[in-house]
């Protein structure tokens, strides 16, 4: 064995230990976060092996295999590099794993993972992979570690058993002193100290705080909160069709993503939402929806929404956009904006439709709906008031779908309005004049209307802005006749809501109305 000079030996040994700790840390972090999954990272793959990576997560079994191999690959490679045992094999394995991370999401293909520092072609995965290739080119015994220690001890025993003077072999002289042994085994107490430090810091292991801030982690190491794990998905959300367009029975709403929150007296919440839902967080949430079978987003039509959606679609995103639009009399430019920027459907905003009907300007409702339909999109109108769908029926307006607020009043902050009190607003007037926490004056009246109407119905505000549990609100909507439900969701709620919808839609349901989508 030809030794390197002392400085090179120490520097390369330290480099191997540092990289080993990185791998080991990543593996340990995943072991103590049983809900971690590589699904999001692989789902975002856009390069030449993207089809293979997408296939790997196409069902729960292959995803579990991928996660198992990833976690234990990181642990074994990291441990062997750290202690210097079979360092050549560990380096080759580590380099291959990092190159797979690189191929899955190379830096020149945009990724929604915000922790990936990169320099167009080069990122940390690629740099670390090449360092491991260099270490793999060395003889395993050239650097301090268990491998070198075993080689030293083996030579010492062989030399003792077969002295060179007797068998005329010229054996390589090695330092078998205690100093050499300490050098090679020094990583073991170092490992224990670092591991203890990590345990103390983490409290074995508190990921809650860590999930609230960016993680300096390697490629496939996105940490997911408990309810974000795609591994827990029971099955993809079922779909229906409006005309010839397949839409998921549960759709993600856009109020939270746009920073609008019905948060009662908590005036800071909307500002917080705008800070939380960065472009990358919105895109990450859409990826989660896509993984769960939620293929439809009901978002506002404005420049910010369009900018984020175009960024998401450019990365291969498949979630469809149904646009909430804001026509003003003869001005339908906002409707045209949705048509021109990739929406598959559009509708008149509920508050606007309420006012149009209250002011008896039915033509202002007919014009945008017919414009949307002429452009080949599905068209509809939203409403807080039952007067809107009733006016459409009475005036021969035939939207492809209705969006109607729908929820019970079975939550503690609900204060129903007495319809017989002349001093209070009536159904159809500005709902914000009444109570901010009621959006459906009578769920019974809504359900009764749709029993005799065959137009597809998208129920929204089904959770009363977070006051009703998803399992209760979604079940009430679907059993009462809704064909679809629009729900505002944080990223950490997507999998849970998908599972609830899957269970409801695939279980026994006391539903009178036929499915009209």
Place of tokens 């359900």: 447
| Cα(488)–Cα(255) distance, integer angstroms | 7
Tokens of 78: 């990291």
State the 10-residue block means of pLDDT for the chain, 517 residues long. 72 87 87 76 74 74 82 89 87 86 74 53 82 84 78 70 47 46 56 53 42 43 50 90 96 86 76 85 90 95 94 90 95 96 96 93 96 96 94 97 94 70 56 65 92 96 91 96 95 92 94 92
Q: Are 220 and 73 within 8 A, CB to CB?
A: no
Indicate if 371 and 491 belong to the same structural domain. Answer: yes
Q: DSSP string covering 89-143, please?
A: HHHHHHHHHHHHHHHHS-TTS--S-TT--EETTEEHHHHHHHHHHHHHTS-TTSS
pLDDT, residue 158, reads: 64
Count Cβ atoms within 10 A of the Cβ of residue 263 and give its class: 0-12 exposed, 13-18 middle, 19 or more buried.
middle
**Structural domain of 44:** 6-144+186-210
Indicate if 319 and 439 belong to the same structural domain. Answer: yes
Tokens of 322: 């149904």
pLDDT, residue 166, reads: 45
Indicate if 140 and 254 belong to the same structural domain. Answer: no
Around Cβ 356, how many Cβ atoms within 10 Å?
Answer: 23
| Cα(112)–Cα(315) distance, integer angstroms | 9
Domain assignment present for residue 152? The answer is no
Mapped onto helix, strand or coil, the DSSP state of residue 324 is strand
Tokens of 253: 């709403």
| Cα(444)–Cα(476) distance, integer angstroms | 11
| Cα(412)–Cα(264) distance, integer angstroms | 13
pLDDT, residue 207, reads: 37
Q: What are phi and psi of 259, to 5 degrees?
A: 85, 20
Secondary element (H or E) of residue 204: none
Q: Are 125 and 101 within 8 A, CB to CB?
A: yes
- Beta bridge partners, 484, equal 458
**What contacts 456, CB < 8 A, 6 or more positions away?**
240, 242, 400, 401, 402, 483, 484, 516, 517
- Dihedral angle computed from the Cα positions of residues 429, 432, 447 and 252, in that order, rounded to the nearest 10 degrees: 130
Indicate if 323 and 200 belong to the same structural domain. Answer: no
Secondary element (H or E) of residue 488: strand 484-488
Indicate if 14 and 139 belong to the same structural domain. Answer: yes
Domain assignment present for residue 168? The answer is no
**What is the 8-class DSSP label of residue 486?**
E
| Cα(411)–Cα(408) distance, integer angstroms | 8
Domain assignment present for residue 267? The answer is yes
CATH code, domain with 451: 3.20.20.100
Indicate if 113 and 21 belong to the same structural domain. Answer: yes
Domain assignment present for residue 177? The answer is no
pLDDT, residue 214, reads: 38
Domain assignment present for residue 180? The answer is no
Q: Are 346 and 382 within 8 A, CB to CB?
A: no
Around Cβ 374, how many Cβ atoms within 10 Å?
Answer: 10
Question: Helix H segments across 395-453?
Answer: 443-451
Secondary element (H or E) of residue 258: helix 255-258
pLDDT, residue 352, reads: 95
Q: What are phi and psi of 311, to 5 degrees?
A: -65, -45
Among residues 401, 333, 331, 404, the alpha carbon closest in space to that of 373 is found at 401
Domain assignment present for residue 402? The answer is yes
Domain count, the chain: 2
| Cα(17)–Cα(183) distance, integer angstroms | 13
- Dihedral angle computed from the Cα positions of residues 289, 294, 300 and 305, in that order, rounded to the nearest 10 degrees: 40
Q: What are phi and psi of 482, to 5 degrees?
A: -65, 140
Indicate if 495 and 392 belong to the same structural domain. Answer: yes
Indicate if 199 and 95 belong to the same structural domain. Answer: yes
| Cα(406)–Cα(425) distance, integer angstroms | 18
Indicate if 190 and 289 belong to the same structural domain. Answer: no
CA 181 from chain center: how many Å?
Answer: 49
Domain assignment present for residue 166? The answer is no
Place of tokens 């906002």: 334
Mapped onto helix, strand or coil, the DSSP state of residue 250 is strand
Indicate if 103 and 201 belong to the same structural domain. Answer: yes
Q: Are 250 and 484 within 8 A, CB to CB?
A: yes
Domain assignment present for residue 149? The answer is no
Indicate if 193 and 315 belong to the same structural domain. Answer: no
Q: How are the residues of the chain apportioned to helix, strand and coil, as percentages rounded to the nearest 5?
A: 50, 10, 40
pLDDT, residue 10, reads: 83
The angle subtended at Cα 458 by Cα 455 and Cα 464, nearest 5°, is 145
Indicate if 424 and 305 belong to the same structural domain. Answer: yes
| Cα(486)–Cα(260) distance, integer angstroms | 15
pLDDT, residue 299, reads: 96
């Amino acid at each position: 064995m030809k030794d390197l000079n002392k400085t090179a030996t120490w520097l390369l040994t330290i480099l191997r230990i540092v990289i080993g700790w990185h791998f080991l840390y990543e593996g340990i972090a995943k072991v103590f976060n049983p809900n971690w999954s590589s699904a999001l990272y692989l789902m975002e793959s856009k390069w030449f092996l993207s089809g293979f990576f997408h296939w790997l997560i196409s069902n729960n079994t292959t995803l579990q295999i991928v996660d198992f191999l990833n976690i234990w690959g990181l642990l074994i490679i990291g441990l062997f590099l750290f202690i210097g045992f079979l360092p050549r094999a560990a380096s080759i394995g580590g380099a291959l794993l990092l190159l797979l991370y690189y191929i899955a999401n190379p830096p020149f293909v945009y990724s929604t993972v915000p922790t990936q520092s990169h320099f167009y072609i080069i990122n940390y995965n690629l740099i670390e992979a090449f360092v491991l290739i260099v270490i793999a080119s060395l003889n395993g015994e050239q650097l301090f570690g268990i491998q070198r220690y075993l080689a030293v001890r083996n030579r010492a025993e062989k030399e003792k058993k077969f002295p060179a003077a007797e068998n005329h072999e010229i054996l390589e002289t090695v330092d078998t002193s205690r100093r050499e042994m300490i050098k090679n085994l020094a990583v073991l107490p170092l490992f224990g100290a670092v591991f203890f430090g990590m345990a103390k810091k983490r409290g074995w292991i508190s990921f809650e705080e860590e999930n609230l801030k960016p993680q300096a982690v390697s490629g496939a190491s996105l940490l997911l909160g408990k309810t974000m794990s795609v591994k827990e998905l029971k099955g993809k959300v079922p779909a229906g069709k409006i005309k010839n367009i397949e839409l998921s029975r549960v759709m993600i709403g856009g109020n939270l993503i746009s920073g609008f929150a019905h948060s009662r007296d908590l005036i800071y919440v909307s500002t917080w939402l705008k800070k939380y839902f960065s472009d990358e967080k919105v895109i990450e949430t859409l990826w989660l929806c896509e993984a769960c079978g939620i293929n439809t987003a009901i978002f506002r039509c404005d420049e910010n929404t369009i900018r984020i959606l175009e960024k998401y679609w450019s990365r291969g995103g498949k979630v469809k956009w149904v646009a909430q639009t804001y026509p003003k009399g003869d001005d339908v430019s906002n409707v045209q904006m949705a048509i021109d920027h990739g929406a598959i459907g559009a509708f008149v905003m509920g508050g606007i439709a309420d006012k149009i009907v209250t002011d008896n300007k039915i033509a202002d409702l007919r014009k945008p709906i017919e414009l949307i339909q002429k452009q080949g999109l599905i068209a509809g109108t939203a409403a807080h008031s039952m007067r809107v769908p009733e006016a459409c029926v009475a005036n021969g307006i035939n939207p492809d779908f209705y969006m109607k607020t729908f929820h019970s009043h079975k939550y503690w902050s609900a204060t129903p309005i007495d319809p017989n009190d002349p001093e209070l607003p009536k159904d159809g007037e500005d709902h914000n004049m009444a109570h901010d926490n009621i959006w459906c004056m009578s769920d019974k009246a809504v359900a009764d209307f749709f029993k005799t109407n065959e137009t597809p119905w998208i129920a929204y505000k089904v959770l009363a802005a977070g006051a009703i549990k998803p399992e209760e609100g979604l079940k009430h909507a679907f059993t009462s006749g809704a064909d679809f439900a629009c729900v505002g969701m944080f990223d950490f709620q997507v999998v849970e809501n998908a599972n609830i919808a899957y269970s409801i839609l695939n279980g026994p349901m006391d539903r009178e109305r036929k499915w009209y989508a």
